[in-house]
Each structure stands twice: as C-alpha cells, then as structure tokens.
Amino acid sequence: MPRRLFTTVAVTVAALLTPATAQAATPALNYVALGDSYSAASGVLPSDPGAPLLCLRSSRNYPHVIAAETGASLTDVTCGAAETKHFTTAQYPGVPPQINAVGANTGLITMTIGGNDSGVFINAILACGAAGIVTLGHGSPCKTLYGSSFQDTIRTKTYPALVAALQAVRAKAPQARVAILGYPWIVPETGGCFTKMPIAKGDVPYLRDLQATLNDAVGRAAAATGATYVDMTEASDGHDACKPIGVRWIEPVLQTTNPVVVHPNALGEAKMAAQAIQVLGL
C-alpha cells in the first residue's frame, strides 16, 4: 500500500475510534440512593441480595432502574421505614447512617423521604382505615376525629426535618446533583374503592389533601436547599391504588399483589425512575 494511502486510512480509522475510546474512558456517574420504602421498593421481588434483611430492599427499585438506564455506578442504601433522622443516625444494628454512603466524589443522589417522620403518614392510613371500617365506608370519620392534626405535624415537624436532612446531604457532597422525589398518589381525588382501600368515601379527599401537604413540604424543602424536586403529581394521577393491575402504581390494602401494602409496585418504581430521569435530564 502506498505510504500516503496508508496514512490516510490510519488517520480515518483513528478518527472513527476516538469517540468510542473517549466514551469508554469516561468514568461512570457515581450515584448514591438514599431513602425509605418508596425508594427501596419494599415488597417488590426479587429482593436485593446485598441489602440488610430488615430494609426490605428490592433489586427492581427506582434507583436500580435509573442506574441500568444511565450506566451509573450505584450505591444503594435505601431502607424500608427510614425517617429523615436515619440519614445521620443508624436505623438498625448493622445498618449505618445512610449519609455514610455519600462522599465528595458522589455525582448524583436521589431519595424519597419524609413519609415516615413522626409516624404521620402511616398513622393516618391506619387511622382512616379503621374509622372507615367502623362506619362501613360512610361519612368522613377520620377527618372528624383528627382534623388538621396530621397536616399540622407535617408543616411543623416534617418540613424542618426534610430541610435539615437535605442540608446534611449537601454538606457531605457539595458538588453532587441532589434530587428528592415526591410520593405518587395513593388514592384518587374522590370516590375511593372501599373493597381495596377500606377508607370512608368522605375521607378519600381528606387523605389526598394530606398527601398533597406532604409533597408540598418535600418540594419546599428541595427549593430551600437547592435540591431538585421530582414532582410525581401529574405523572401518577390516575395510577392510584384504586386502579386495576397494570394501571396502578401503588398497591392497595386488599386485593393486592404486594405483601407490603400501600407501596409502589414494580410498574410504579419504573415510572418513578422515568420521571426522575426526565426531570434530571439524565
């Protein structure tokens, strides 16, 4: 082969290979997933073999989906029943503070957190369910009994706890992109589905408003700390626990496919991942 032709071919081949080589040399995004059972996908099979047993973490949770879609290098410390305080204190023996997984080289952090703080959300679901059973689904007994107490607790206790948790994360990884996801809708705006979610008809909008208050606190905490809020409000509308299998993202109390009720199923986790990817532009 003439030298000039050989040189041209070599330069052309090198030019074609350079982008691929450069891409291969680019290190994967260092991604740390924090959060509670909505982040851990508690009850969704298969379980994450590397997770502490008590954390009920699934290998199909939205952090795993995000990592698979983006090629990020995932460190997943999500844990069912986690509260904001478990970012900086141990949740169980052998389960260290979640923030320990965050470092200066962390590039992305996601979380769903706040729903377990002060027991407000789970207590509201249990209280409204019990009240609904007593009245056979009629009236609004939960609202009558508890009024604004659940929402007051979110505003006065959960919100500042969220801000403190996000500030702690920011201090540990000041260069990272930090995203906090809102909670997908659990019940519809009105009506409900007493045979699946035993909540009195009049308490369905009451619980919906309670969840809106929680998501508002999450969004405001994100804004106050420079984090990205991944709003699930519009995306999850029409996919609540009252909808049929294949449509719902949240499993109901009765007629459920998930042993951990009132939590996202695999479809819900995949959709949470998709919303986070879209909002973050990953």
Catalytic residues: 37, 263
Angle (CA) 202 214 265, round 5°: 80
CA distance 188 to 239: 8
CA distance 62 to 161: 23
Note the residue count of the chain: 282
Task: For 109, list phi and psi in degrees, rounded to 5.
Answer: -135, 130
Give kind and range of the element (H or E) at residue 123. Answer: helix 120-134
Give kind and range of the element (H or E) at residue 228. Answer: strand 228-230
Residue from 74, 56, 55 nearest 64 by CA: 74
Residue from 70, 73, 150, 79 nearest 112 by CA: 79
Distances in whole angstroms, Cα of residue 90 to Cα of each of 62, 93, 99, 128, 172: 23, 7, 10, 31, 17
Report whether 222 contacts 159 (CB < 8 A): no
Report whether 110 contacts 66 (CB < 8 A): yes
Give kind and range of the element (H or E) at residue 33. Answer: strand 30-33
Report whether 240 contacts 185 (CB < 8 A): yes
